[in-house]
């Protein structure tokens, strides 16, 4: 007989937004290092979005504690094999990276560009950590189904990258920059991330086998199959590949990917709520 940690909506939001933060920062860093002049908006939006979200993430995590005023207790202790411990530290470290990258993307002089690029590549490691450690944290508990899910961290990372790119696309669309070349590149990168995510999800289910029942056959099943697999992955992929002919606004796949990313965190966490 096991006991649920009673992680509910605040943790669902934290996992979801943490994934976007890591994914958006990574996208911006790649655009920064490998893109060109026209990707400037991708870079700025990505860095600033990750900074905003990492602050929100910190607030959500603190509020979810039983004794929120004791959040610093996690900072007085470090165990390198404990996802929760490293995660709390990395949230802070990633916040620092996001802050400096954001500041340099607006006010940095030309001589600082080189520094920002290297800084952001290193920061990407912490961003990826934020996006994926939450999965490793769940898969290293004693809970049914979570503890059997070997590729949960890998899945959360793929979803984080994909939702991060989708969030950048959405913001570019809203700020009227959807016509630019940067927007197309983000979409191209997201296409790859979505295909990869779908493959990891298939591997996730295959490795889980019957242990995946809480997702695939329980009361979460409609949300999982329709909300995540169809609406959140298959439809945006199809729209992305053939959407030009269907005259669907370019922002629709991005919104669907974000909805799918939220549903993924929701069904997985609430399966043991």
Partner 1 sequence: MARTLAMFTDTSLCIGCRACQVACKQWNELPLEQPEWTGSYQNHAHFTDKTYRLVRFVEKPKENGELAWLLMSDVCKHCAQAGCLEACPTGAIYRTEYGTVNINQDVCNGCRYCVSSCPFGVVAFNHDTGRANKCTFCNDRIHNNLGPACAKTCPTDSIQFGYRDELAAKAEKRVAKLKEMGHKDAQLYGVDTNGPLGGLNAFFLLLDRPSTYNLPEKPLLPQRNVLADSLLSVGSALLVGVGAVMAFRERGGKGGGHA
In the list 12, 20, 91, 157, the residue contacting partner 1 (rule: CB under 8 A) is 157
Residue 212 and residue 145 in contact, taking contact as beta carbons nearer than 8 Å = yes
Tell whether residue 153 is a contact of partner 1 (CB under 8 A).
Answer: yes
Q: How far is CA 247 from CA 152, 179, 180, 239, in A?
A: 35, 15, 18, 10
Site for partner 1 in 47-86 (CB under 8 A): 64-68, 70-71, 73-74, 76-77, 79, 81-85
Residue 193 and residue 147 in contact, taking contact as beta carbons nearer than 8 Å = no
Site for partner 1 in 190-219 (CB under 8 A): 191-193, 196, 200
Max Cα separation, the chain? 60
Tell whether residue 152 is a contact of partner 1 (CB under 8 A).
Answer: yes
Tell whether residue 107 is a contact of partner 1 (CB under 8 A).
Answer: no
Q: Which of 50/143 has CB closer to partner 1?
A: 143
Could you please report the per-residue DSSP string of 129-141?
HHHHHHHHHHHTS
Distance of closest approach, residue 172 Cβ to partner 1, in angstroms: 14
Site for partner 1 in 120-139 (CB under 8 A): 124, 128, 132-133, 135-137, 139
Q: Which of 122/226 has CB closer to partner 1?
A: 122
In the list 189, 208, 263, 268, the residue contacting partner 1 (rule: CB under 8 A) is 189
- Give residues with Cβ within 8 angstroms of 234, minimum separation 6: 198
In the list 27, 50, 102, 126, the residue contacting partner 1 (rule: CB under 8 A) is 27
Please choose, from the candidates 177, 176, 189, 190, the residue with its C-alpha nearest in 3D space to the C-alpha of residue 255. Answer: 190
């Amino acid at each position: 007989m096991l006991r649920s940690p009673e992680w509910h909506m605040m943790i669902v939001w934290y996992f979801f937004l943490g994934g976007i933060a890591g994914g958006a920062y990574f996208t911006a860093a790649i655009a920064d290092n490998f893109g060109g002049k026209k990707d400037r908006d991708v870079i700025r939006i990505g860095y600033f979005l990750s900074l905003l979200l990492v602050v929100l993430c910190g607030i959500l995590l603190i509020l979810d504690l039983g004794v929120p005023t004791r959040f610093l207790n996690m900072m007085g202790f470090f165990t390198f094999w404990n996802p929760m411990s490293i995660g709390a530290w990395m949230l802070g470290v990633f916040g620092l990276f996001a802050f400096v990258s954001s500041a340099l993307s607006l006010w940095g002089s030309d001589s600082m560009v080189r520094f920002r690029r290297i800084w952001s590549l290193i920061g990407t490691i912490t961003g990826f950590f934020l996006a994926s450690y939450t999965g490793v944290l769940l898969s290293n508990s004693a809970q049914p189904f979570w503890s059997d899910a070997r590729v949960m961290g890998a899945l959360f990372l793929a979803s984080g990258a994909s939702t991060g790119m989708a969030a950048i696309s959405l913001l570019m669309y809203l700020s009227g920059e959807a016509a630019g070349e940067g927007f197309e590149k983000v979409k191209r990168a997201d296409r790859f991330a979505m295909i990869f995510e779908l493959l990891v999800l298939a591997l996730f289910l295959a490795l889980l086998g019957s242990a995946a029942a809480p997702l695939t056959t329980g009361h979460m099943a409609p949300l999982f199959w329709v909300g995540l697999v169809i609406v959140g992955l298959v439809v945006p992929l199809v729209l992305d590949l053939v959407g030009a002919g269907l005259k669907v606004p370019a922002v629709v796949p991005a919104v669907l990917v974000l909805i799918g990313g939220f549903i993924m965190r929701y069904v997985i966490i609430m399966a043991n709520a």
